[in-house]
A and B are shown apart, each in its own frame.
Chain A
Amino acid sequence: MDIYTGPVGSNSLLQQIHDYSPGIPPSGLFWVVSAPHDAVQVHLGSGTASVQMTDVPVIDAHDIANALTGGLGSTIPPIPPIAPVPATVSFDIQWSNVLEQAKVTNDMQAFTGQFWKTGATIKWSSNQEGFSFDSEAPNPTRNIYSVIGHEHSGAFFH
Chain B
Amino acid sequence: MAFGVPVHHYPLALSVGKPFNEINDPSEITDFNGFVGGVHILGEGNGTGFATPLAFQTDMGFMQGEFIGEDGEHHNRTFVFI
- Interface residues of chain A, those whose CB is within 8 Å of chain B, are 1-11, 15, 17, 20-22, 24, 27-37, 39-40, 42, 44, 49, 51, 53, 56, 58, 64-65, 68-69, 74, 89, 91, 93, 95, 100, 102-104, 106, 109-111, 113, 115, 117, 120-122, 124-125, 130-136, 139, 142-156
Contacts and interface: CB of A to CB of B under 8 A. Distances in A.
Contact of A102 (B10, B21, B25, B54): B21
A34 B79 contact: yes
A156 B47 contact: no
Contact of A40 (B2, B12, B57, B64): B64
B9 A30 contact: yes
Most chain A beta-carbon neighbours within 10 Å: one of B6, B15, B63, B64: B64
A13 to B, nearest CB: 10
Contacts of A139: 43
Contact of A155 (B2, B9, B68): B68
A58 B82 contact: yes
Given A40-B35, A147-B12, A121 B57 contact: no
B30 A8 contact: no
Binding site secondary structure of chain B: strand
Contact of A122 (B3, B39, B78): B39
Given A34-B79, A153-B30, A142 B42 contact: yes
A65 B2 CA distance: 8
Nearest to A18: B47
A142 B48 CA distance: 22
Given A35-B62, A131-B49, A144 B3 contact: no
Nearest to A113: B36
Given A106-B24, A145-B15, A155-B31, 11 more contacts: A4-B56, A8-B43, A20-B82, A30-B8, A51-B37, A53-B80, A68-B3, A74-B3, A93-B39, A131-B47, A151-B27
Nearest to A156: B33
